[in-house]
Structure 1
C-alpha cells in the first residue's frame, strides 16, 4: 500500500499506481535500506525508545528479509510502490505491530537520503577500483606501442601541442604523424578490448 494512500477516499487507478511505483529502480537499494534501518533501531534501543526485546526482533526480521530478497523468495512487487514500503510491510507481516516502530523518530525523507548516500558511497568505491584497473590496462597497452607511436599518442592527447608542434618535436612528416596516430589508436583499441572487456 502506498504511503500516501490514507489521504484519499478512493483507490487510485491501476495505471496511475504503476506509474508512481519506483521499486523497479530503487529495489537495488535493499541492502542499504536494511543497513540504515538496523542502525536506526540500534540507536532507538540505546536511547531506550524501543525495548531490547522489540529491537532484537526487528533486527532479526530485517536480516531474514535481506536473505529473502537476496534469494529471490521475496519478489519486487510494483503494488508495494517502493523498496522501503516492501521491506516495512514484510517486517510487519513477520513480527506484527512491533515492526511499525522502525519509523520512530525517522521520516521517510531521512530514510531515502541515507539509502542513497550509502548506495553511492559503495558505487563510488567500485567505480574507483574499475577506473584504477582500467588505467593499469591502458598503461600496459600504451607501453606495448612502438616508442614513436607511444610519444605521438601522449603528446596528442595529454598536452595542448598542435600536430605541427608534435611533428617538429619528433622529427616526422605530417602525413606520417596522422598515420601513426590512426594505427596507434587501432592497436590501443584492440589491446584494451582483449585485456579489459574480455576479462
Structure 2
C-alpha cells in the first residue's frame, strides 16, 4: 500500500485538523464489507429525504431532486454504469459523496437529522429483510426435495441407530422426515428473528434522536417496517438481531453437518446404503478406485465457520458500553459470511441428495443381525399381559441365548426355546418380529409406520407452505 497516498474526504472531516494516513484509514474503513448494502442505503436515504421535504426541514424541491438522483444512482449501480469506489470509507460516504458531487449543497442536505449510527442500523436491517427470506426459500426447497425422496422410500426398511449401533427397524422415508423436522424448525427460527428485527431505527441519530421535527413513523412505513424502534440509544446499540440470525445459521449448519455425517457413513464400503451421483463426488489423486463424498464432508466442515461467526459476535458485544461503538463495524462480515455459507451449503446439499440413489435391499438386509427386533419381542409379551420389566428381561435373555448359540436373529430360536424364557410366546411371534412388521407396528404419531410417515410428509409440506403463506 502507498503510505503517502492521501485518504479521501470523509463525512467527519470538520472536527479534526489531521487525518489518518492512508494505511490507517484503510484499516478503519468498511467499504469492502458494507458495499453490499448499497441499494439499502439508497432506499433509506430516499425515505429520509422525502420525509425531510414533507416536514419542511428542507425545501420540497431539494427533496425531489435528492430522490430523483438517488434513484438514478441505484439504477447506475445495478446496470454497472457506476462502480463503487473501493477507497471510500464506507457505503454511506460513497453514496453521499456521489450525491454531493452531482447536486452540490442540495446533496449535503440529505443527512439532516440522522447519523451514520442509525443509518447503518437501518441499512443492515433492510438488507436482512431481503436476504433472510431468500435463505428461507433455499430451506423450503431443500425440505421439499428431501420430502420428495421420503415419498419414494416410505416402505424402504433400514436400521435406525442409537450410539451408532443398530437399534430398531425404521424406513428411509422416516429418516428423511426426521431431517426435515429439524429444517422446518430452522425456518421458524429465521421467521422469528425477522419479526423481531422489523423495527426501523432511522431517526435515532447518534444515540439521542434529533431536535428536528422528524416523522419516524413515516420513514418506517416508507421502508416497509412494522414501526419505529422504541428507544434511540437501544436502536444504535442493538445487535440482538445479528445474534439471533447468526445462531439460526449455526443451528441450520449443525443440522446439515449431522445429515452429512449420516451420508458419509452410508456411503462407506462397510454400509453402502447410498450411491452419490458421480457429479456430487470426487476421486483421489493417488488411489484410482476412490469415489469420495467430498461435498458432504465440505458441508460438514463449513459448519465450523458459522459456529465461529456466532462466537465472534457474542464476544464482540460482550464488553461494549450501551450505545454505538466502532467495534460494531465488525458485526456485518461474520453474519454475511454465515448467511452466504448456509445458502451455498443448502444448494449443494439439495443437489447432492436429489440425485442420490439408495441400495434398499442392502438397507433391509442390515436389519437382520444385531437383534433390532428385541424391543418388539418384549412388547409382544407386554401385549400378552407380562409387566414390561419382566418382558424386557425375557427378551434380553433370549438375545443372550442367541449369541451363545451363534444365532443373529430371535427368529432363529425354536418356539420351544423361546418358551423357556416365557410361556406366553406363541407361533405368531415370528410374524411380529420381521423388520417390516416392527416398522408397521409403530403407527403412533411420530412413528415410522408407512401410513404415519405419509401423514408426517403431508404435515411438513403444510408447515413449510404456511411459513411462506403459499
TM-score range normalised by the length of the shorter chain? 0.7 to 0.9
CA distance in structure 2 between the partners assigned to 1:130 and 1:4 by the alignment = 41
CA distance in structure 1 between the partners assigned to 2:107 and 2:266 by the alignment = 68
C-alpha distance 179-62 of structure 1, shift in aligned 2 (>3 A): closer
Task: Specify which of 52, 55, 62 is matched with residue 54 of structure 1.
Answer: 62
What's 2:352 paired with? 193
Instruction: Please give the secondary structure, in 1, of the residue aligned with 2:137.
Output: helix
What are the superposed Cα offsets for residues 112-133 of structure 1, whole Å, 9 maximum, x if unpaired? 1000001011111101111001
Deviation of residue 9 (structure 1)? 2.3
Report whether the alignment pairs 1:22 with 2:30.
Answer: yes
Structural mapping, 1:118-137, within 5 Å = 118-137=126-145
Give the alignment's TM-score, normalised by structure 2: 0.35
What's 1:103 paired with? 111
What's 1:78 paired with? 86
What's 1:92 paired with? 100
Question: Does the 8 Å contact 2:267/2:276 carry over to 1?
Answer: no
Deviation of residue 43 (structure 1)? 1.3
Instruction: Please give the secondary structure, in 2, of the residue aligned with 1:11.
Output: coil
What are the superposed Cα offsets for residues 115-172 of structure 1, whole Å, 9 maximum, x if unpaired? 00010111111011110011111122233347335x64xx55xxx79744314x78xx
CA root-mean-square deviation: 3.0
CA distance in structure 2 between the partners assigned to 1:46 and 1:40 by the alignment = 10
Question: Does the 8 Å contact 2:276/2:352 carry over to 1?
Answer: no
CA distance in structure 2 between the partners assigned to 1:138 and 1:90 by the alignment = 48
Bigger Rg, which one = 2
Question: Does the 8 Å contact 2:77/2:83 carry over to 1?
Answer: yes
Question: Does the 8 Å contact 1:41/1:102 carry over to 2?
Answer: yes
Question: Does the 8 Å contact 1:145/1:184 carry over to 2?
Answer: no
Deviation of residue 16 (structure 1)? 1.2
Task: Specify which of 100, 123, 139 is matched with residue 115 of structure 1.
Answer: 123
C-alpha distance 179-4 of structure 1, shift in aligned 2 (>3 A): closer
Report whether the alignment pairs 1:40 with 2:30.
Answer: no
What are the superposed Cα offsets for residues 29-69 of structure 1, whole Å, 9 maximum, x if unpaired? 01111111111112112212122211100000001111222
- The number of residues matched between the two structures is 182
Question: Does the 8 Å contact 1:141/1:192 carry over to 2?
Answer: no
Question: Does the 8 Å contact 2:267/2:275 carry over to 1?
Answer: no
CA distance in structure 1 between the partners assigned to 2:29 and 2:84 by the alignment = 11
CA distance in structure 1 between the partners assigned to 2:20 and 2:163 by the alignment = 62
**Whose relative contact order is higher, 1 or 2, with alpha carbons under 8 Å and at least 6 apart?**
1
Question: Does the 8 Å contact 2:37/2:91 carry over to 1?
Answer: yes
Question: Does the 8 Å contact 1:27/1:83 carry over to 2?
Answer: yes
Higher relative helix content: 1
What's 1:175 paired with? none
Deviation of residue 3 (structure 1)? 2.7
Report whether the alignment pairs 1:13 with 2:21.
Answer: yes
